[in-house]
Amino acid sequence: MCGILGTLNFNNRVDTDRIALMRDTMPYRGPDSNGIWISNNLYCGLAHLRLSILDPTPAGHQPRVEENGRFVISYNGEVYNYIEIRAELQKEGYTFETGTDTEVILSAYIEWGEDCLNRFNGMFAIAIYDNENETLFLARDRLGIKPVYYYQGEHELIFASETKAILRGLSALPGLNVELIDDYMSFGYIPGEKTLHKGINRLMPGHYAFVKGREMKITQWWDLTFNNDEDKGFDYYLNESKRLLESAIDLRLRSDVPLGIFLSGGIDSSAVVGLLADKVKEPLKTFSIAYDFGKNFDETQYARMVADKFGTDHHELKITPQQFADFIPEYIHLMDEPVTEAAAVSLFFVSRLAKEKVTVALSGEGSDEIFAGYDLYQYMNVLEKYRSVVGQKGTDLFAGMANKVLGKSHKVSKYLNMATQPIEKRYKGMSTYPDAQKEALYRPDFKVELEKVKTETSHGAFSAKLFDKTKDNDQLSKMLYFDTKTWLVDDLLIKADRMSMATSVELRVPFLDYRLVEFAASIPSKHKINKGEGKYPLKKMMEGVLPNDIIYRKKMGFPTPLKLMFQNELREYATNLLLAEDTRVHKFFKKERIAQLIEEHNADKYDHHKTLWQLVVLEEWLRKNS
């Protein structure tokens, strides 16, 4: 796990000092070594920050140039099946000097070109420059576990693991894609290719790009397909899912540095512990975190139950609401993008705890998205049944009720609004904000501006494209595909990458092994949700391995006491931040409406903590980035 950066200049020669300044904005991504390489023609520069995982000797230094000097690589991530690929390449006559996967990736590209990506099992962001053809190759893994951002200006292309590195290289901050503020208010993050900064884009998951001169050609090399009409029987899907999950865990044990597990006490991380415990000689190191704010925000008793059962070397930490409050500015800095994922703060602290003992950690991210673990999926199915029964009059009734409870209950209003629309329009993923909530906040002139600048990048158009790809699939498959392309990559995986790398810890996610993801997409939906139980294949496979109190308890998922904190520790901070004369969000939102939200929340009249947190994150981001 590392940090990568590079520039491809169209007119001017590379400025080595400038590349170093950009690289050094994210030192935590690679504390073990760093390097810079400049092409023969002086128009391309690659930089690298190394967190040593495989072959931690100096031989693993990057950027790495192959022996003939034609190709050079700067790479972030892990290709877990590098041993098997290396053996295949050795049969073709390749020799290897190091024990790294970096050398294998570079040789694989030389042998197979971009088709090498189909052979890789892992998480990766790859940059390879061809000195002979003067062409840059950029690639991102299938699910988007590792990030790649790029900026195409008049005179150069810049790419990096984080946007702050790109911004450091620009002479001025880019303007804002103001229409994406509407996306942010709808999702709590910004899905898709564009970011809030004009000109800075994401290379999308499962895509690669060739850049030669000013021309950049992007190609999608992988997508997820739900071919689940054929039913081979539940036992087949159960056994094959378990085999693939165990194989995924086995591959992710490949490391030359200490390894541990983030253990929340939920079924996902507990399953990783349960399936891994017998495969290691020494006790597993496990790490848990909770808020010192009562049992509703503390899962450590369940984590302890699992740790005791499997005899792990267990470590716990409780953080206070004040620590959360104090960390907010640093959270904004590390996340790069405005993302209202409060659980990211918990992940930072548990990563920092883990760093005292390990450099690599496994976690349970992705299980809910491949096995349908969220309750929302079942709510959506119920809504669809009601819609088919009550017809248009019923949906009109739901709309009227939604308007009446606006402000009183975020959750109730959200679901009533959802009940008025078909799945393609009502479903926006796991982190959904009611349209009426944001509309009540928008200034009239901002609404006019939004109407003027609506483009194909708006969330409505982006969502429509995703649903169009699954138009022949059942409702659950449509939602799972949507979440894989939005919530998973642009919220959960951004959180995972930023907060773990901020503490120089590599986070591995076995549930997102592409073989398991593809297989799960072939499981008929009726086997994923059975008798009111989501993630049914995972729960059944863990019976007899984990206690039933772990398997069948209600999901908590790093809960944060934001409602209470906005009434206490964050009360003065939020008021001063959101109601000051120079508050940036006033350009888009009504100051009087923000004041009303704060007043109602403090009086415990209504719960507005999600909207307040959304406004706080955006305001802090705007202050640092605009």
Does residue 394 register a pLDDT over 90? no
CB-count burial class (<10 Å; 0-12, 13-18, 19+) for 160: buried
Kindly report the average pLDDT of the chain as a whole number: 91
**pLDDT tens, position by position, 116-142:** 999 999 999 999 999 999 999 999 999
Rounded Cα distance, 246 and 252, in Å: 10
Q: Using alpha carbons only, give the angle 36, 39, 44 rounded to the nearest 5 degrees.
A: 80
Work out the pLDDT band at 112, boundaries 50, 70, 90. very high
Find, among 375, 291, 415, the residue nearest to 555 by Cα. Answer: 375
Rounded Cα distance, 118 and 215, in Å: 24
Does residue 524 register a pLDDT over 90? yes
Average pLDDT over residues 495-502: 97
* pLDDT for res 42: 86
Q: Take residue 433 and report the two structure tokens written for it.
A: 């904000």
Does residue 409 register a pLDDT over 70? no
* pLDDT for res 413: 56
* pLDDT for res 158: 97
Work out the pLDDT band at 93, boundaries 50, 70, 90. very high
Find, among 353, 361, 352, 359, the residue nearest to 508 by Cα. Answer: 361
Residue labelled with tokens 């690639």? 139
Q: Among 68-82, 273-287, 424-438, 598-612, whose mean pLDDT is lowest?
A: 424-438
* pLDDT for res 448: 92
Work out the pLDDT band at 273, boundaries 50, 70, 90. very high
Q: Take residue 482 and report the two structure tokens written for it.
A: 């949507």
Give me the phi and psi of 506, to 5 degrees please: -90, 125
**pLDDT tens, position by position, 327-372:** 999 999 999 999 999 899 999 999 999 999 999 999 999 999 999 9
* pLDDT for res 433: 74
Beta strands in 149-274 (DSSP E): 149-152, 156-160, 200-202, 207-212, 215-220, 259-262
Rounded Cα distance, 6 and 48, in Å: 9
Does residue 19 register a pLDDT over 70? yes
**pLDDT above 70: percentage of residues in the chain:** 93
Average pLDDT over residues 210-215: 94
Please report which helix (H) or strand (E) contains residue 412, including its range.
helix 410-418
Residues marked active site are found at 2
Q: Which pTM does this prediction carry? A: 0.93
Confirm or deny that 364 is annotated as ligand binding.
Answer: yes
* pLDDT for res 451: 86
Confirm or deny that 532 is annotated as ligand binding.
Answer: no
Q: Which residue has the higher pLDDT, 256 or 120?
A: 120
Does residue 410 register a pLDDT over 60? no
Q: Take residue 80 and report the two structure tokens written for it.
A: 């877990």
Rg of the chain over CA atoms, in angstroms?
24
Does residue 88 register a pLDDT over 60? yes
Does residue 583 register a pLDDT over 90? yes
Confirm or deny that 373 is annotated as ligand binding.
Answer: no
**pLDDT tens, position by position, 148-204:** 999 999 899 999 999 999 999 999 999 999 999 999 999 999 999 999 999 999 999
Does residue 25 register a pLDDT over 70? yes
**Concatenated DSSP letters of 184-216:** HHHHSS--SSB-SBTTEEEPPTTEEEEEETTEE
Torsion, Cα 243 141 51 278, to 10 degrees, reads 0
Work out the pLDDT band at 580, boundaries 50, 70, 90. very high
Rounded Cα distance, 115 and 549, in Å: 46
CA atoms within 13 A on the CB side of 3: 33
Cα→Cα distances 145→125, 206, 207, 258, 560, Å: 9, 10, 13, 21, 24
* pLDDT for res 554: 80
Confirm or deny that 366 is annotated as ligand binding.
Answer: no
Does residue 419 register a pLDDT over 80? no
* pLDDT for res 279: 85
Average pLDDT over residues 560-576: 92
* pLDDT for res 382: 83
Rounded Cα distance, 106 and 453, in Å: 43
Q: Using alpha carbons only, give the angle 435, 437, 438 rounded to the nearest 5 degrees.
A: 70
Peptide bond into 63 cis (omega under 30): yes
Average pLDDT over residues 215-242: 97
Does residue 397 register a pLDDT over 70? no
* pLDDT for res 202: 98
Domains of the chain: 2-220 (3.60.20.10), 234-372+485-551 (3.40.50.620), 561-626 (no CATH)
